[in-house]
Chains A and B, each alone.
Chain A
Amino acid sequence: MTDQEPLILAFCCESSAYAAADAAGSMRLEYPDNVRVLRMPCTGKVEIDYILTAFERGVDGVIVAGCPEGDCHFQEGNLRARRRVERAKQLLDEIGLDPDRLEIFNLSSSDGARFAEIAGEMSQRLTKLGPSPLRLDDPTEEQNTEQMARHGDAVPVGEKR
């Protein structure tokens, strides 16, 4: 991945999309290399906060991928996720980020081909949209301090802004 290419974070449901990514692996399917998968127990656990945090930190796009509708491993988590994604899109629109940077997908656990397709589709869409205006090529000290604080590292007294 070069700096010009988009960086995509994918919240993947453990029982479907994550398994589909594994299936894509065992099928040796080629897909764009800019998707970073984060394992979730169910898309029903993906909070709007997580999506917005990801954008705030500078990802160019976010994928939420869960079970097919009506087939959620936890019955209706994916429907809740859809509602939250729609709400998050509204919020993105309000702050001037293109809502197309965020998308929810549904696929089954054995569908490796679909996973590869989704990665390709989003990658293409985000290449067109260009880098996120929130993306920092050089993380500022402010962000460093915030990150260190989250890691429990000592923040030097007096240097905190």
Chain B
Amino acid sequence: MTLPNGETPANAMGKNSQEPCGAVLVCGAGVAGIHASSDLSAAGFRVYLVEEGSGIHGDTAQLEKTSPARESIACTMFPKLVECVRDPNIDVFTMSDVIALEKTPGNLKATVRQRPCSTDGGNCAACGEQREDVFDLEIGAVLVTKEGQASFPFPAESTQSSGQQTEKSPGPVFLVHESEDVADTITQASAAAARAMTLLAGARGSLVRTRAYPPERDITDEPPRVGIFVCGCGTDIASVVDLAALVERVRQLPNVVIAKTDVYACAGDGQDRIVEAVAEHRLNRVVIAGCSPHTHESIFRDTLRCAGLNPHLLEMANIRDQCARVHADRPKQATEKAIDLVRMAIGRAAHLASLPEQTVPVKRMALVIGGGIAGMTAALSLADQGFPVRLVEKTSRLGGPTPQIDGDDGETVLAETIKRVQSHLRIRVYLEAVVSKVDGRIGHFTTSITRGSEIHEVKHGVVVVAIGTAGQQSESSGRGQDETVQTQRADREKLARLLRVPLNAEGFFVLAAPELRPVDSVREGVLLCDVPDAAKSIVQASAVAARAASVLSHKEIPVGGMTASVDPQKCISCMTCVHVCPFMAPRVGEHNKSEVQSEVCMGCGTCSAECPAKAITLQNYVDDQILGAIDSLLARDVEKKEFVLTYPEQVGIAPPRWHASQHE
């Protein structure tokens, strides 16, 4: 894409000093548009997502599987789509296009035309009753994706023409570069979002709306009413496991009220059906039999909140990764195993309890490890957005190897970047320093930086890893490289251990989802610029900045509620917990009884397992839940005991709050 003539809105906007508007128009709701929107929304901006077609998903959703993990695309993408539609800060306009774009002081005004949805072109009698809706949106910047170009007939500025730091006056209409590679497209989308964030940093949070959930139902007095939702994951599970048989069997188990199947439980309509079922059957525990809690637990927890239940009343049985995919040749056995796994989940679910939502304040600082071009770009982008940055470099100078960038002079880009990093007020650089200890988790890490004999302790919200990629560059295998490669490999291994992010067989850090989350490591809050190619790593660095901003712009972050707590009645003051806790969370409190500081507790359960008085419980992993799961697995084919409750009026007993007669 070339820059158009000087009359474009993008250029006209350039150096306006007016207060920007904290809203961004994203054109095209394909995979790029959706990821850019969700990053922007998480970072505190309002997003207007305009799509010419009738739905959000784009071409990517039509792929069946991603490579190399062969994950089902729909399965990994649906949660993102649902998140996007549920997000109160993303307004989705389908069947729409932008018909005018004009400059207002400091901002842009886009005129959007939304066509009526239910018109059948052939049968339309032009009665005029369904009219087009035309409205104006005030925005601070525009992102245009490839799929959005049809709905945005105006020139846009390329985000890729050069290293971003060389552009003095970024215009507010950015084009997202898309390729056929899904991961690359998402990285580009996040990078474009980072540019908009930098431009509108002053307006962050000015237009956000908070999500409203229905009030949480108090289920303390209710007997367990478990609902089971079996997901077919398209054909991934359904083609192996006999879902009908599974539902028929588990329906008979104790405490189960309903059991149903769905094609995709994580899709928007699948989740709506769960919410409806919770209300209809007054469920108070939900079991999802489908995929891994690692990928889908958070979205289903959110579904429970939408249904007015505490998010911790959820249990998942992973019948995809533990049954369908690994026993594909033995459908009968896979079904038997799936029944057992769901049985265990029900046994555990019956004992789940509501846990209060706990949050901790987010440390508004980023730690960047590696002072090469990628690390510096990420640091600058974050610092420009207003976040303080600590940059750690092992050698005595910033820069690293000179980047090879198409059409640009690598050395000039590098020199300018170094100059900007050194003079930036929000960046502090530690040269000849290494990270020696990393504690904590997303939102509140505590890291020790060792420089010679000094140790600096830094509290920060995210970690950006941008260190050399051990010898993955094919062209740099010249003389003297072997030693560098060796040290780099050792550095990577050491850092992998410190950060608890493993390396894969090729020596790269393991990603959370190789295709759909290309810069997020398996550990939340640890972000990666981990490609050998310099130009790509600069784009990755910007994408990392967008992902980091989506964490750092929150004031508080939930800690999951899974912490240990002490029953002072049972505590015998033996101090075992104080000795065994690796994080020093328990301390001696009132009356010499132990108490666990919930903001320090990481929820490993060591203290509760070691406590000789059984005074400590780890919430969400209490004995009854674990033993309940074991019991259910082994007590096979126990007939369901009908538990019929009748409340004859003449006896004069008031029915409890959860009884159906109270809700008619």
Contact = CB atoms under 8 A, between A and B. Distances in A.
Interface string A145-158: 01110111110000
A77 interface: yes
A73 B502 CA distance: 11
A42 interface: yes
Given A74-B582, A150-B624, A30 B329 contact: yes
Nearest to B500: A73
Contacts of A151: 224, 254-255, 347, 350, 628
Interface in A27-81: 28-31, 33-34, 36-42, 44-47, 49-50, 53-54, 57-59, 71, 73-77, 80
Interface in B283-329: 292-294, 318, 320-323, 325-329
Interface string B602-644: 1111101110000000100101101111111111111001010
Interface stretch (A16-24, A85-93, A98-106, A121-129): A16-24
B634 A41 contact: no
A135 to B, nearest CB: 8
Contacts of B328: 28, 30
Interface in B152-183: none
B638 A139 contact: yes
Interface in B328-343: 328-330, 333-334, 336-337, 340-341
Given A144-B638, A151-B350, A151-B628, A76 B582 contact: yes
Nearest to A11: B626
B186 interface: no
Contacts of B292: 22, 25
Contact of B635 (A36, A57, A110): A57
B361 interface: no
Contacts of B538: none
Given A30-B326, A74-B604, A77-B606, A37 B341 contact: yes
Interface residues of A, number: 57
Contacts of B500: 15, 71, 73
B555 interface: no
A37 B318 CA distance: 9
B326 A50 contact: no
A134 to B, nearest CB: 10
A66 to B, nearest CB: 11
Contacts of A139: 634-638
Contacts of A39: 293
A1 interface: yes
Given A9-B630, A26-B321, A154-B643, A46 B327 contact: no
B562 interface: yes
A21 B337 contact: no
Given A25-B320, A45-B618, A152-B223, A38 B629 contact: yes
Contacts of B635: 57, 139, 143-144, 147
A50 B318 contact: no
A41 B604 contact: yes
A47 B634 CA distance: 19
B608 A57 contact: no
A54 B629 CA distance: 10
A144 B327 CA distance: 31
A116 interface: yes
B69 interface: yes
A9 B624 contact: no
B463 to A, nearest CB: 16
B580 interface: yes
Contacts of B626: 38, 40, 50
Contacts of B69: 26
Given A33-B330, A42-B604, A150 B562 contact: no
A94 to B, nearest CB: 21
Nearest to A73: B500
A74 B631 contact: no
A26 B327 contact: no
A73 B606 CA distance: 12
A64 to B, nearest CB: 12
Contacts of B638: 139, 144, 147-148
A76 B254 CA distance: 38
Nearest to B637: A139
A32 to B, nearest CB: 9
B326 A24 contact: yes
B659 interface: no
A80 B606 contact: yes
Nearest to A24: B326
Given A26-B321, A153-B254, A110 B502 contact: yes
A146 B255 CA distance: 16
Given A34-B337, A50-B627, 19 more contacts: A1-B333, A19-B522, A40-B605, A41-B562, A41-B621, A42-B606, A47-B623, A53-B627, A57-B630, A59-B634, A74-B606, A76-B606, A80-B606, A84-B609, A109-B502, A110-B510, A147-B631, A150-B627, A152-B350
Interface of B: 69-71, 223-224, 254-255, 292-294, 318, 320-323, 325-330, 333-334, 336-337, 340-341, 344, 347, 350, 497, 500, 502, 504, 510, 522, 562, 580, 582-583, 602-606, 608-610, 618, 621, 623-624, 626-638, 641, 643
12 contacts: A25-B320, A30-B326, A30-B329, A36-B344, A36-B633, A40-B621, A57-B630, A71-B497, A143-B635, A151-B255, A152-B223, A154-B643
Interface of A: 1, 9, 15, 18-19, 21-22, 24-26, 28-31, 33-34, 36-42, 44-47, 49-50, 53-54, 57-59, 71, 73-77, 80, 84, 108-110, 116, 139, 143-144, 146-148, 150-154
